[in-house]
Amino acid sequence: MDGYLLLAHDAPSWKEACEYALQALEAAQRLLGEDHLHKFKDMFWSAAITRPYMRAQFAIGYSLWKQEELNQASEYFQLILRMNPGDNQGARYSQVAVLMEMGKNVEALRLISEYSDDPLVHWGYNRALLHFRRKGDDPAGRDYLRRAFRKNEYLPFFLIENLPIPPREYQAVLPGELEEATEYLRIYQKSWQVTPGALAWLKKNRYTL
């Protein structure tokens, strides 16, 4: 299972990554046995034996997302969150990105609210973006931006200048640091780019934050 996941991680294309991840999932299902959804109910991730299964689910969802198979990707991320609401894998971040790319703003905001105590800045900038999608440039939206900026001031610069995202994968992401900003960009840059006027709005207000 882990071998398939390593192959997925190093695959030259997202399509191939998905194929390897599917093989990892099949192997994990064989390990868990029949009726595993019932057998390990409320134990996914907490039981170590289930983790390869959960990692495979995430890898499939992620690779589908990168292939712009958004509906299918969303189904995998939803499944992960149902099986492990504590979300040790961070599937909520990817699911919110998928929902925003699909234009499902209400669903994205609902999921953000379900995990409202999340310490990272992601929800702050996403709330600002989702408000802009609904209301445009208004005082409430600018207030969302200011509050997010106080938590991480690097993000607007990266978004506005469209700087390349460092390829490095971080073992830990700390609030307020540059790594947090680049991690946000990896997940949500496209959501900003596909929102008409959002980057211009951010640029217009950057010096008032």
pLDDT at 165: 78
Token representation of residue 142: 């600018």
Q: Which residues contact 153 (CB under 8 A, 6 or more apart)?
A: 209
Token representation of residue 153: 């001031």
Q: Which residues contact 77 (CB under 8 A, 6 or more apart)?
A: 58, 61, 91, 92, 94, 95, 98
Report the distance separating Cα 194 and Cα 100, nearest Å.
Answer: 9
pLDDT at 119: 92
- Name the pTM for this structure: 0.93
The answer, yes or no, to whether residue 171 has pLDDT greater than 80, is no
Is residue 125 within 8 A of residue 150, CB to CB? The reply is no
pLDDT at 112: 98
Is residue 41 within 8 A of residue 57, CB to CB? The reply is no
Which segment, 9-18, 28-37, 90-99, is predicted with the most confidence on average?
90-99
Which of 189, 176, 161 shows the shortest CA–CA distance to 66?
189
Token representation of residue 140: 């409430």
Give residue 38's pLDDT band: very low, low, confident or very high (50, 70, 90). Answer: confident
Report the distance separating Cα 117 and Cα 94, nearest Å.
Answer: 17
Question: Could you tell me the CA-to-CA distances from 75 to 49, 128, 202 in Å, in that order?
Answer: 23, 25, 31
Angle, in degrees to the nearest 10, between helices 91-101 and 70-83:
150
The answer, yes or no, to whether residue 109 has pLDDT greater than 90, is yes
Indicate the domain borders of the chain: 2-89, 122-208
Question: Could you tell me the CA-to-CA distances from 63 to 18, 82, 111, 113 in Å, in that order?
Answer: 5, 20, 21, 26
pLDDT at 168: 64
pLDDT at 1: 63
Is residue 57 within 8 A of residue 25, CB to CB? The reply is yes
pLDDT in tens, 140-162: 999 999 999 999 999 999 999 87
